[in-house]
Amino acid sequence: MDIYSKKLPIILIIVLVGILTLQFMSNDKNSPSIDSETCELYIANPQFNGKKYLDEYDPKCLDFKNLNP
């Protein structure tokens, strides 16, 4: 396939859209998120739009918070 072909950009766009679609579909809603203020992990509860904290902290976030008081 020639790099100057008109089909190449179309194929690349289709591949990139497919990758983005797979990432969006594989994103698990029950995966833990990080609270930006406390660095504590939580799971969003869609039943009452609240957060359930897991009593675990993200070490990278804590290190970053300690570097920037």
3-26: pLDDT as tens digits: 677 888 899 999 999 999 988 887
pLDDT at 63 over 80: yes
Select from 50, 17, 53, 18 the least CA-distant residue to 34.
53
Q: What percent of the chain has pLDDT over 90?
A: 14
Q: Calculate mean pLDDT across residues 34-53.
A: 83
Q: What percent of the chain has pLDDT over 70?
A: 87
DSSP one-letter string for the chain = --TT-SHHHHHHHHHHHHHHHHHHHH--TTS-EE-TTT-EEEEEETTTTEEEEEEEE-HHHHHHHHH--
